[in-house]
A and B are shown apart, each in its own frame.
Chain A
């Protein structure tokens, strides 16, 4: 091997922002040989995406790059814009994280794939169509003839990602840059896409630059790995070596950031906190003037019981109805069936009837960016519940409570007059937890509370949730698609699919000897075995 395919040499990227220059990438060097896979790993803000975007020369104007990115010996940072357009899509192509938004919703997918071929290969008419169908077939789209003239909205997330891959492969590139290609997908779909990439790689003999934050994928997928942190490569080498004997503290920390431990079970005689019988949620999909409405059943008759101090993990892929179930249990959505909280039957209660109970039933949502109003200070956000449930409190008393709540979640109370956008994802999630805790709830619905966070942050939030549960005997309903987190936190697990319970039972039973094929598939796709062994 004389010359690597892609050689990044002392690359630095600095953004000239109005507030001053910000260096996103510092002296980064790595190289990829033909047919090889290099994974660029790092948490959010580590500069991994900036590096790959620089290789495509797609950075915004205000970014200044130094160093060199040599592709087949040609420095891509110096070639003309015209030459670069030839390289993009033809020699190097890219797939993105969001299959939902990276296809143009107004064009049929056949045309979108065909466009690349027209541009770079001058392939038109029948030849174009044949090649597109061949590609669709290769990426495993069923009925390519029919899908050729589908619009993106008619495809599922996984299928869209396949279409993106077909587009990227259209000109048989030598290098494929995959920027978190599976992050937005369900675990089972994720495994399929990775398999697909792997087989296409051998078929086309292309190199892959794989950008991800997910170490379990790296271990299965990449030959080499480069770990990035704050714009610098802290460690790189063969995947096996880095994983087996990490040299840098940061790598070790990342590898270690796996939710560990098991929950201490609640006493068996603990009183039942929440129970539900035959809960159903129906959404009206189409309203008709005559002859009834069309419905979609998101939750189709679910029973569950949670005791005080217990955690019930609700697991399922997207669209399984797990979030809908959670909202229905707290009566944030209309539902049928019986729901009892302690001694109270929630079903007949209306909005004002529910209000006194709201302080005991609290929620923490998935998206720490969407769940805090951007125009309120953190203090106002946290104290809002007090205004509803403790109207007798005055400003100073509320402030004292806010300070206590912030300390409880290990945030600096001095920050209560700032706005949410000034905080990182993990900090925001702590704010959301503080907002729920200030009302001294008994049951907390945690709807994917860690999914939007980096692994290392995730572990800390989980520790926090665990501590709080132990301290106050809280009961958790924990909704997640992340099985390792569920395993670390729950007593019981409920596996959902298409609005029904597939399997239900104590966490160890489900994880060690799942009965249903669906559960087995889920567990397998999550690469759990290794994590447990590690």
Chain B
């Protein structure tokens, strides 16, 4: 029916439209004009993710942080297998000794004669996994919830955000205790409880971003193209809201690690003999004067992890923004 609009296809010698389904349609030979563009620009056919990775790999601080972070994770996973002491194993000859090569207490022992390095690595497994799972849960739920709520707007937005308000107003401890009563004590409950609370902030942040973004003309242009709502949210809204999201995730991780130690301190989190960085640090604080290494060692691990995450987060934010070169 649209005979007049046809001429589009014919006039470009090589852009010969749609060699329908032909295998390997000849790629339009680069016209002469292509010679010009500066070679410094992005190489051909890169997605944002690949492009971002290229930019991230040029950021030395971020790459060093990434390497250190991976090293810490690997050591926490594999380290305990190579150490002679077990998690709850007591060395009756060494109560609260400092770092020494004797008996392989490389970083000393705690007041009960348990090897500190072993405990820090086991604790790292707990802290890192809580941090990872809870942050991931808050990231996924929060971003989707916030983006959908902000994008749909109106009544749906109202309902969705009132639900968030209700969740906010639930006392956190009450929620945890309730979960404990119903499901019994379990490490997964910590994940669930922290995840259930942390996504609320994220949802609010993303909703705010979305509200600002959805008035932008490129969103309207997508509507005019007939792009589906789901695609608008995933392809246009979320990538453009990613900056604050990444910053917030790097802030969530330390928050989650501390929240876990707080729960454990109240007897609602991990139980002896299992431990976590937060628990080790709070034990270390008690022994600060007589056995400073008990505070310093787990603190060092925690601080190093958070340090790396901050640098990595900054690097990621910059890398995901094509405007920073």
- Measured CB to CB, the residues of A under 8 A from B are 308, 327, 330, 332, 351, 354-356, 358-363, 365-367, 370-377, 384-385, 388-389, 393-394, 396-397, 399-401, 403-404, 407-408, 412-415, 417-419, 421-422, 432, 435, 437, 439-442, 471-473
Judging by beta carbons under 8 Å apart, are A415 and B216 in contact? no
| In the complex, B236 has a CB within 8 A of chain A | yes
Partner of B36, one of A327, A388, A414: A414
With A393-B18, A401-B17 already in contact, the answer to whether A412 and B222 are too (CB < 8 A) is no
A408 neighbours in B (Cβ, 8 Å):
12
Judging by beta carbons under 8 Å apart, are A373 and B225 in contact? no
Judging by beta carbons under 8 Å apart, are B15 and A401 in contact? yes
Partner of A354, one of B31, B43, B46, B226: B226
Query: Which of B41, B224, B240 is most buried by chain A, counting CB atoms within 10 A of its CB?
Result: B224
**What's the nearest-Cβ distance from chain B to residue A443, in Å?**
11
Judging by beta carbons under 8 Å apart, are B218 and A396 in contact? no
Complex Cα distance A373/B218, Å? 6
Closest to A354 in B: B226
Judging by beta carbons under 8 Å apart, are A407 and B18 in contact? no
Partner of A472, one of B8, B28, B222, B239: B8
Judging by beta carbons under 8 Å apart, are A417 and B224 in contact? no
List 21 interface pairs A-B (beta carbons < 8 Å), by A numbering. Answer: A308-B4, A330-B224, A332-B223, A351-B229, A359-B226, A373-B236, A374-B322, A374-B323, A375-B240, A375-B321, A375-B322, A394-B25, A399-B27, A400-B16, A407-B33, A412-B36, A413-B30, A439-B225, A440-B2, A440-B6, A441-B5
Complex Cα distance A418/B17, Å? 24
Complex Cα distance A521/B66, Å? 65
Complex Cα distance A301/B16, Å? 45
B131 neighbours in A (Cβ, 8 Å):
none
With A375-B239, A412-B37 already in contact, the answer to whether A365 and B221 are too (CB < 8 A) is yes
With A355-B226, A397-B25, A400-B17 already in contact, the answer to whether A419 and B323 are too (CB < 8 A) is yes
Judging by beta carbons under 8 Å apart, are B217 and A370 in contact? yes
Complex Cα distance A407/B8, Å? 12
B218 neighbours in A (Cβ, 8 Å):
370-373
Complex Cα distance A397/B25, Å? 7
**What's the nearest-Cβ distance from chain B to residue A459, in Å?**
22
* Binary per-residue interface labels of chain B (1-35) against chain A in the complex, 1 for a CB within 8 Å, 0 otherwise: 01011111100101111110000110110110111
Closest to A362 in B: B224
Judging by beta carbons under 8 Å apart, are B217 and A367 in contact? yes
Judging by beta carbons under 8 Å apart, are B28 and A400 in contact? yes
Complex Cα distance A363/B25, Å? 31
B225 neighbours in A (Cβ, 8 Å):
358, 362, 384-385, 388-389, 435, 439
Closest to B4 in A: A473
In B205-239, the 8 Å CB interface with A consists of: 216-218, 220-229, 235-236, 239
Complex Cα distance A327/B223, Å? 11
Judging by beta carbons under 8 Å apart, are B4 and A472 in contact? yes
Judging by beta carbons under 8 Å apart, are B217 and A371 in contact? yes
| In the complex, B42 has a CB within 8 A of chain A | yes
| In the complex, B45 has a CB within 8 A of chain A | yes
| In the complex, B128 has a CB within 8 A of chain A | no
Complex Cα distance A9/B7, Å? 58
Partner of B226, one of A389, A401, A414, A417: A389
B177 neighbours in A (Cβ, 8 Å):
none
B24 neighbours in A (Cβ, 8 Å):
396
Judging by beta carbons under 8 Å apart, are A412 and B33 in contact? yes
**What's the nearest-Cβ distance from chain A to residue B116, in Å?**
45
A308 neighbours in B (Cβ, 8 Å):
4
Complex Cα distance A327/B217, Å? 12
With A354-B226, A365-B220, A371-B218 already in contact, the answer to whether A418 and B239 are too (CB < 8 A) is no
B14 neighbours in A (Cβ, 8 Å):
400
